[in-house]
């Protein structure tokens, strides 16, 4: 009897395994069918494009205003770009953004036959382009300090989802650079952190969430911009590291994200002399081709950083940098201008293409780049989004005549899943929670509740802080009144806010003058300053100037019940404790800083 039961149990288990295995097999077959279908469509569309149209597709351009004005129209008609990057100057109210993007897409469909990738830098914190319609999350460094992968994934999703709703489908985030150089003038708080684990965990999670949100996330700046002291907007950074050193540190977040499914990468305008002494990563076939494409087996999009940046424009313009980038392995040449500069870029690439210079080992690299870009426009439903539009002009001849049923079902399910996830997240609560959890302290852990609000005096600047104090019926003092209270020892704690070195120095001078009174600075700027250290001075960091980040700083003093953890960053050495001249290093870095 027992033997029969045992055989029946084993047989049932086998049937159950077979059922799930067949289900998984069917799912994999369907996924392969969908991918093959999109690849065929991308190939078919690419084959219909003229040389001029192919060149236009690999160039992304900028426009001057908040509407599709004559300059923007001419740019699309002349260049026939594959995408447009939008900056703060282009982004007004939610309705204005939606109108601009719809008009851009309509114009592109008429002139190029394909929808645009419309990109934006929406990193959070100090890099926020869209002010209406997208939650103003704190920046990357704040997100990293939460040590919470789930939060990072949710922030990535919500940011991407909200951008896609506005018509912005290409997100230049997250920044995967490990900011282990505290003198870095350009990455700074845009990085998730100073150590590998923080950047790895938060960056991979954010990118995964953003992919689910619908706007294609772009990890940047490959192979790593964290260990520089030169701004590539204004100079040519160099990093003297070997490929093995990069693989053991800077490259790990990128490689892990690729293995996790990342679809887009932005290159860095940085020279790595021990890998390629002649060209920065953006133009280097050794870095983009051999390392990223071949060794890492990366099949996704590669977009350059802006080609007008001095690192390229001042050093490689005579070498036809657009052509070099495509030969190296890039798919998209990012321009942040319009008119003569974009026309010049188009002309150099078109001339090289007609000469046959963009064919390598029998492969037409220009067509490969265009096909890859179109594939991702299909994969993320961007083509599907406009499949019902009235197709006029070039779209009538290029646009897919019909979307196969399997793809229609796939894109419909994709949209449903996004809506389900969006409904599960309380977006405003998420912003509050992330901002509060991001607050950390220097130089030691700190428990603010040990001193009551009644024994605390405030000297804060800025409307966000003042309105928060007012809502709590707390008086804000001027500096002279604060000094008098401290001299008379009427309070046990004084709270100031800061975003710059002089403001921190003021807090330090008060701490030094009144050693028996606790001085707290609520700091929402960069932490990479000369941080004063006094036994009675506490510096709370939010890393971000957003409203919720500022409210979180005040919350940490007045409402927080648990201990505030120590900041987890490589900070600048205190000049009074270091034999190295901080001032000299800062001046060297700041020569190329805005």
Catalytic residue IDs: 233, 305
Q: Helix, strand or coil for residue 146?
A: coil
Residue in the structure block whose two tokens are 């990535």: 156
The length of the chain is 594
Task: Answer whether 137's CB lies under 8 Å from 190's CB.
Answer: no
Ramachandran assignment for 370, one of left (phi > 0), alpha (psi -120 to 50 degrees), beta (any other) = alpha
Q: Helix, strand or coil for residue 572?
A: coil
* Sign of the C-alpha dihedral computed for residues 203, 207, 213 and 214 taken in this order: positive
**Cα 334 from chain centroid?**
15
- Residue 162 neighbours by CB distance under 10 Å: 21
Q: What is the 3-state secondary structure (H, E, C) of 94-116?
A: HHHHHHHHHHHHHHHHHHHCCCC
CA distance 103 to 517: 60
- Residue 515 neighbours by CB distance under 10 Å: 11
Degrees to nearest 5, angle at CA 572 with 126 and 275: 85
**Cα 552 from chain centroid?**
23
Burial class (CB in 10 A: 0-12, 13-18, 19+), 495: buried
Pairing state between β 359-360 and 363-364: antiparallel
* Sign of the C-alpha dihedral computed for residues 252, 256, 259 and 264 taken in this order: negative
CA distance 69 to 51: 27
Of the CA atoms within 13 Å of residue 566, those in its CB half-sphere come to: 7
CA distance 302 to 123: 19
CA distance 486 to 480: 10
CA distance 2 to 20: 27
Q: Helix, strand or coil for residue 67?
A: coil
Q: Helix, strand or coil for residue 19?
A: helix
* DSSP secondary structure letters along 261-275: T--EEEE---EETTT
- Residue 219 neighbours by CB distance under 10 Å: 26
Task: Answer whether 505's CB lies under 8 Å from 469's CB.
Answer: no
Pairing state between β 276-280 and 271-272: antiparallel
Residue in the structure block whose two tokens are 């020569």: 591
Task: Answer whether 504's CB lies under 8 Å from 514's CB.
Answer: no
Label residues 369-408 b or e (16+ Cβ within 10 Å = b): bbbbbbbbbbbbbbbbbbbeeebeebbeebbbeebeeebe
Degrees to nearest 5, angle at CA 132 with 128 and 138: 35
């Amino acid at each position: 009897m027992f033997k029969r039961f045992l055989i029946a149990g084993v047989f049932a288990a086998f049937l159950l395994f077979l059922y799930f295995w067949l289900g998984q097999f069917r799912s994999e077959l369907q996924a392969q069918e969908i991918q093959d279908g999109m690849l065929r469509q991308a190939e078919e569309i690419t084959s219909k494009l003229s040389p001029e149209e192919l060149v236009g597709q690999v160039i992304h351009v900028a426009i001057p205003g908040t509407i599709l004005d004559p300059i923007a129209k001419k740019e699309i008609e002349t260049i026939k770009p594959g995408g447009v990057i939008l900056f703060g100057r282009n982004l007004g109210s939610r309705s204005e953004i939606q109108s601009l993007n719809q008009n851009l897409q309509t114009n592109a469909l008429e002139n190029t036959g394909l929808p645009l990738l419309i990109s934006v830098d929406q990193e959070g914190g100090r890099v926020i382009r869209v002010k209406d319609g997208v939650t103003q999350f704190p920046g990357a460094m704040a997100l990293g300090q939460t040590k919470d992968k789930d939060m990072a994934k949710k922030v990535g999703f919500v940011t991407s989802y909200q951008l896609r709703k506005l018509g912005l489908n290409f997100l230049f985030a997250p920044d995967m650079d490990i900011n282990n150089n505290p003198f870095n003038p350009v990455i700074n708080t845009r990085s998730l952190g100073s150590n590998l684990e923080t950047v790895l965990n938060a960056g991979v999670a954010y990118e995964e969430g953003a992919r689910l949100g619908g706007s294609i996330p772009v990890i940047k700046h490959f192979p790593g911009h964290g260990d520089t002291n030169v701004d590539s907007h204004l100079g040519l950074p160099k990093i003297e590291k070997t490929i093995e050193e990069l693989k053991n540190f800077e490259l790990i977040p990128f490689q892990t994200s690729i293995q996790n499914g990342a679809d887009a990468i932005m290159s860095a305008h940085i020279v790595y002399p021990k890998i390629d002494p002649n060209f920065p990563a953006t133009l280097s076939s050794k870095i983009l081709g051999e390392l990223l494409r071949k060794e890492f087996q990366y099949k996704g999009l590669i977009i350059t950083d802006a080609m007008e940046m001095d690192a390229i424009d001042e050093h490689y313009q005579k070498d036809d940098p657009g052509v070099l980038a495509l030969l190296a392995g890039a798919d998209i040449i990012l321009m942040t201008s319009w008119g003569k500069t974009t026309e010049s870029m188009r002309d150099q690439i078109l001339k090289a293409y007609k000469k046959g210079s963009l064919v390598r080992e029998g492969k037409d690299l220009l067509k490969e780049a265009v096909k890859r870009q179109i594939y991702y426009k299909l994969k993320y439903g961007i083509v599907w989004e406009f499949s019902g539009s009235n197709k006029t002009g070039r779209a009538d001849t290029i646009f897919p005549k019909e979307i196969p049923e399997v793809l229609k079902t796939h894109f419909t399910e994709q949209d449903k899943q996004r809506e389900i996830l969006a409904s599960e997240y309380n977006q405003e609560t998420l912003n509050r929670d992330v901002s509060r959890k991001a607050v950390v302290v220097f130089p030691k852990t700190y428990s603010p509740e040990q001193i009551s609000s009644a024994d605390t005096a405030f000297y804060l600047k800025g409307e966000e802080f003042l309105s928060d104090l007012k809502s709590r019926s707390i008086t804000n003092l001027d500096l002279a009144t604060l000094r008098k209270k401290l001299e008379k020892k009427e309070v046990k704690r004084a709270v100031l806010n800061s975003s710059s070195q002089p403001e921190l120095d003021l807090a330090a001078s008060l701490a030094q003058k009144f050693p028996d009174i606790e001085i707290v600075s609520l700091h929402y700027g960069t932490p990479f300053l000369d941080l004063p250290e006094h036994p009675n001075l506490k510096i709370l960091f939010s890393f971000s100037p957003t409203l919720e980040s500022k409210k979180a700083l005040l919350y940490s003093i007045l409402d927080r019940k648990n201990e505030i953890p120590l900041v987890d960053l490589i900070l600048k050495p205190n000049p009074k404790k270091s034999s190295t001249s901080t001032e000299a290093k800062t001046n060297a870095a700041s020569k190329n800083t805005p």
